[in-house]
């Protein structure tokens, strides 16, 4: 049996601190695999712990199978949790560890068949008589999973269960988790800060930032139709290039997007998505270009809908099957707060960026944050920063000068420092308003995908 989980305007405040989770509303259908994704500190684990009953809900309501459950004790929720640290009893064999929850429930029963069946499902029959100290990390995590599923809970909550494993094992166990949960049909909520894990596992992905839910959608829609710049930048490798721009749409003179050094003239007649940009006329916007939206080719090879620009090659990343060319097109990158903490788990969200900004920049950021509600878009630090924050900012600028990443085949040869011709596919252009919300594409153009 699997069950539905519903959160209605759920908030959590620890002590007198600020809200760790703010008015989250979310429904997980029976048998669904939902991934909570976001940078470190965004409140994912807190949401999970509130569902488990390990953390009190400050405001709002939790429903399990439609029943109000805020005050149901954890032991009566029929929920199993798997954590990042494999909490196995060190003095018990794998067999005893897996059988432990069964024994708790029914001390006199014969649980051997259930333990064996669980072990078979996980392919760990040969590990049953070993102690945790005699197991590798991946094997320990499998046994921990066995312990969670042996008593056949109706809900699985997994908190970064694979994050301490090496990447090969992670990919392998990821596939096993997908197979296992599908087989068991158990409602699963899975927490991770790894977007590729989220995209490959989830039926739906719920992206969080600073305690606030940003978007809940299928992995495909999360990538193709991000609700705002934060989601756009958090999902996808390499990260989407975000550039500050201005839309120009003078009467009777077409429409173009001014990127500073380059102009992207939008093809006439305007597509329905590009028509949406008219309202942004004269306003600062953010243009998003994923690495597959741009190719290295001269203007003479432009296909309909492609416009030419140029850039200086800053850096080339060879990945074996492809290469990522980092280019400086002379545009101004837009910086999105809170993203970096995904890569520096110890940092408080947004802190590193805020530290990089001084005086006017900080005031501007705050103003934008107020305007934007949940999404703040900040200017990149100035070219020659002054004052106490200068070191941090210039270090960062030194590290990343490119404003665009282009995906190419592995055999394309480009020289660092060379100027290269680029073609931008305007059908793959994202435009976000000054507050970071997506304006174009509108979002109803995705062809259905058979699953
Ligand atoms: N017991 C606690 N007391 C006070 N503050 C807490 C407590 N637990 C979490 N927090 C704070 O609540 C916020 C959300 O934390 P939470 O652990 O839910 O985030 P997370 O997204 O799961 O992060 P991570 O991926 O690093 O585990 C953070 O700012 C954190 O410092």
For residue 182, what are its two tokens?
Answer: 């599908």
93 C-beta closer than 6 A to ligand 1? no
Q: What angle do CA 89, 95, 101 make, to 5 degrees?
A: 65
Closest residue by Cα to residue 2 from 61, 49, 54, 65: 65
* pLDDT score recorded for residue 152: 82
* pLDDT score recorded for residue 137: 83
How many whole angstroms from 188 Cα to the centroid of ligand 1? 21
As a whole-number percent, the residues of the chain with pLDDT over 90 amount to: 57
**379 pLDDT more than 70:** no
| Nearest-CA residue for atom 22 of ligand 1 | 45
For residue 271, what are its two tokens?
Answer: 């597509």
* pLDDT score recorded for residue 356: 39
**150 pLDDT more than 80:** yes
Q: What angle do CA 170, 172, 178 make, to 5 degrees?
A: 95
How many whole angstroms from 20 Cα to the centroid of ligand 1? 7
Q: What span, in angstroms and rounded, lies between the C-alpha atoms of 234 and 240? A: 8
40 C-beta closer than 6 A to ligand 1? yes
The number of the ligand 1 atom at minimal distance from the alpha carbon of 21 is 14
The number of the ligand 1 atom at minimal distance from the alpha carbon of 48 is 18
Q: Map out the domains of the chain as residue ranges.
A: 5-224, 229-440
Reported ipTM: the value is: 0.97
* pLDDT score recorded for residue 122: 81
Q: What is the DSSP track for 316-372?
A: EEE-SS-EEEEEE-S--BEEETTSGGGT-TTSPTTHHHHHH--HHHHHHHHHHHHHH
CATH superfamily of the 5-224 domain: P-loop containing nucleotide triphosphate hydrolases (3.40.50.300)
Q: What angle do CA 159, 44, 379 make, to 5 degrees?
A: 130
42 C-beta closer than 6 A to ligand 1? yes
| Nearest-CA residue for atom 25 of ligand 1 | 40
| 380 vs 417, more confident | 417
| 3 state SS of 34 | strand
12 C-beta closer than 6 A to ligand 1? no
How many whole angstroms from 45 Cα to the centroid of ligand 1? 7
Q: What span, in angstroms and rounded, lies between the C-alpha atoms of 33 and 31? A: 7
The residue behind tokens 């989407």 is 240
43 C-beta closer than 6 A to ligand 1? yes
44 C-beta closer than 6 A to ligand 1? yes
| 3 state SS of 147 | helix
Banded pLDDT at 224 (limits 50, 70, 90) = very high
Report the pLDDT averaged over residues 134-155: 86
The residue behind tokens 């942004």 is 280
| 392 vs 110, more confident | 110
Q: What is the DSSP track for 167-229?
A: HHHHHHHHHHHHHHHHHHT-EEEEEES-HHHHHHH-SEEEEEETTEEEEEE-HHHHHHS-SBH
| 250 vs 438, more confident | 438
Banded pLDDT at 118 (limits 50, 70, 90) = confident
217 C-beta closer than 6 A to ligand 1? no
409 C-beta closer than 6 A to ligand 1? no
Buried-exposed string 168-206: b where 16+ CB fall within 10 A, e elsewhere: ebbeebbebbbebbeebebbbbbbbbbbbbbbebbbbbb
Q: What span, in angstroms and rounded, lies between the C-alpha atoms of 334 and 229? A: 9
Banded pLDDT at 141 (limits 50, 70, 90) = confident
**387 pLDDT more than 70:** no
Q: What is the DSSP letter of 376?
A: -
| 331 vs 378, more confident | 331
The residue behind tokens 């991946």 is 138
Report the pLDDT averaged over residues 403-416: 91
Q: What span, in angstroms and rounded, lies between the C-alpha atoms of 69 and 8? A: 12
The separation between the first and the last C-alpha atoms of the chain, rounded to the nearest angstrom, is 23
* pLDDT score recorded for residue 304: 92
Q: In whole numbers, what is the pLDDT of the chain averaged over residues?
A: 84
Closest residue by Cα to residue 153 from 116, 204, 118: 118
Most confident by average pLDDT, 307-311, 338-342, 366-370: 307-311
* pLDDT score recorded for residue 446: 53
The number of the ligand 1 atom at minimal distance from the alpha carbon of 42 is 21
| Nearest-CA residue for atom 17 of ligand 1 | 45
Overall residue count recorded for the chain in this entry = 451
**201 pLDDT more than 90:** yes
Site to probe by mutation for ligand 1, drawn from 12, 22, 43 as the one with most ligand atoms within 8 Å of Cβ, is 43
How many whole angstroms from 220 Cα to the centroid of ligand 1? 28
* pLDDT score recorded for residue 389: 34
How many whole angstroms from 213 Cα to the centroid of ligand 1? 15
| 3 state SS of 374 | coil
Average the pLDDT over each of 279-283, 365-369, 427-431 and give the range with the smallest value. 365-369
341 C-beta closer than 6 A to ligand 1? no
Report the pLDDT averaged over residues 113-127: 88
193 C-beta closer than 6 A to ligand 1? yes
Question: For 283-329, how does the pLDDT look when each residue is reduced to its tens digit (9 = 90+)?
Answer: 999 999 999 999 999 999 999 999 999 999 999 999 889 999 999 99
């Amino acid at each position: 049996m699997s069950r539905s989980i519903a959160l209605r305007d759920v908030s959590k405040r620890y002590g007198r601190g600020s809200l760790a989770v703010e008015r989250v509303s979310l429904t997980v259908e029976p048998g669904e695999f939902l991934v909570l994704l976001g940078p470190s500190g965004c409140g994912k684990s807190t949401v999970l712990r509130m569902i488990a009953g390990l953390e009190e809900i400050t405001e709002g309501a939790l429903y399990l199978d439609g029943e109000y459950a805020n005050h149901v004790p954890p032991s009566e929720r029929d929920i199993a949790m798997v954590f990042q640290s494999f909490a196995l009893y060190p003095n018990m064999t794998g067999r005893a560890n897996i059988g432990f929850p069964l024994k708790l429930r029914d001390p006199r029963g014969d649980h051997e068949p259930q333990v064996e069946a669980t072990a078979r499902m996980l392919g760990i029959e040969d590990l049953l008589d070993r102690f945790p100290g005699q197991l590798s990390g991946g094997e320990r995590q499998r046994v921990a999973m066995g312990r969670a599923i042996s008593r056949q809970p109706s809900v699985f909550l997994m908190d970064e269960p694979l994050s301490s494993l090496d990447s090969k094992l992670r990919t392998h166990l990821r596939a096993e988790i997908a197979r296992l949960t599908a087989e068991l049909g158990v409602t699963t909520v899975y927490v991770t800060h790894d977007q590729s894990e989220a995209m490959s596992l989830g039926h739906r992905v719920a992206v969080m930032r600073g305690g606030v839910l940003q978007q809940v959608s299928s992995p495909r829609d999360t990538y193709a139709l991000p609700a705002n710049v934060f989601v756009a930048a958090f999902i996808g490798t390499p990260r989407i290039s975000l550039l500050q721009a201005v839309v120009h749409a003078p009467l009777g003179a077409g429409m173009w997007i001014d990127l500073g050094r380059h102009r992207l003239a939008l093809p006439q007649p305007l597509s329905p998505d590009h028509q949406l940009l008219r309202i942004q006329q004269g306003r600062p916007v953010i243009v998003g270009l994923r690495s597959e939206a741009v190719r290295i080719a001269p203007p003479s090879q432009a296909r309909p809908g492609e416009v030419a620009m140029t850039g200086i090659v800053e850096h080339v990343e060879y990945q074996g099957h492809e290469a990522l060319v980092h280019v400086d097109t002379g545009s101004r990158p837009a910086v999105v707060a809170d993203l970096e903490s995904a890569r520096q788990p110890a940092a408080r969200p947004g802190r590193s960026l805020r530290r990089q900004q001084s005086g006017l920049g900080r005031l501007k950021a705050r103003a934008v944050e107020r305007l934007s509600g949940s999404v703040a878009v900040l200017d990149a630090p100035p070219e020659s920063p002054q004052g106490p924050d200068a070191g941090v900012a210039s270090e960062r600028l030194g590290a990343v000068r490119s404003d665009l990443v282009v995906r190419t085949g592995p055999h394309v040869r480009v020289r660092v420092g060379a100027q290269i011709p680029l073609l931008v596919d305007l059908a793959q252009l994202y435009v976000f308003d000054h507050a970071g919300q997506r304006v174009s594409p509108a979002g109803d153009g995705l062809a259905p995908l058979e699953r």
